[in-house]
Amino acid sequence: MREIIPFSKEIVFKTNIASITSISLEHEEKVFDGEVRGDFIILGDYKIHNDTTETELFKFHLPFTTILPENIKKETIKVDIEDFTYEQTEPDVLKVNIDFSVSGEENEEPITRLEDLPNPNDLTEDEKLDVNDYDENITREIEKFLEAKNEDSETLPEEALETVKTEPTLDDSLPDSSLTRNTDETKVDNQASTTNEYVTYHIHIVKESQTIEQIVNLYNTNLETIKLYNEIDKIKTGDKLIIPEYLDD
């Protein structure tokens, strides 16, 4: 984010101004939650009479405040002077015009919906899907989705819903051709799990030309289990599938 903000102020001197012989602008500010507050410091010297070489010093502090957007990182805020002009409007009045900029880095908004997950085809090699990109809203959405499924299916184990993890595991959700599954993992079926098992849910994003059979093999599960959680009649690239995985506690 970078925003240029205009600022104007008339300064009243203690005497008439014959001429400004030197002038400079400094600034100091502090960043608070939601705003920047500080002072523009105008200083220099001037002549009271044109027929003298004597000058008088002047220094004025001009307070300013600007509101910050909520999504800006406080530690990255920077204030710069873009332009500075002045003019004499009265015998003892000097008007200063300052254009200053406020810049800073924007916070990335956490993903709160399944629909907001990025398409894996758009990710670079250095980019990863990370559970830190999510907030508790997406967890609640998954739980509501599973609860709705449970109303229509008696085969979905209540124990699985009661022990669902608070964060989705995304390590295995990227469609990487080199991705493999541990063959020692417990195989998922659509029967009720025992009380010493817990369930975690992977969010899988379908990549180009990927079939449901390939996804079944990737997660060492079966078609019936995936159907309990997803509509798979016409899957397409970019679709998000919820894949349950039962693990020993």
- Where in the chain are the domains? 2-103, 114-248
Torsional sign, CA 79, 84, 87, 88 = positive
Helix %, strand %, coil % for the chain, to 5? 20, 40, 40
66-89 confidence digits (pLDDT tens): 998 888 888 899 999 999 999 999
pTM given for the model: 0.46
Give CA 160 to chain center in angstroms: 32
Nearest to 34 by CA among 61, 84, 81, 69: 69
pLDDT of residue 225: 85
At CB < 8 A and 24+ separation, what contacts does 153-158 make?
A: 153/228, 155/190, 155/191, 155/192, 155/228, 156/228, 157/191, 157/192, 157/193, 157/199
pLDDT of residue 90: 96
Contact criterion met (CB below 8 Å) for 228 and 191 = no
Q: Is the pLDDT of residue 247 over 50?
A: yes
Least confident of 27-31, 117-121, 181-185: 181-185
The burial of 243, by beta-carbon neighbours within 10 Å (0-12 exposed, 13-18 middle, 19 or more buried), is given as: buried
Tell me if residue 87 falls in helix, strand or coil: strand
Tokens at 224, concatenated: 């019936």
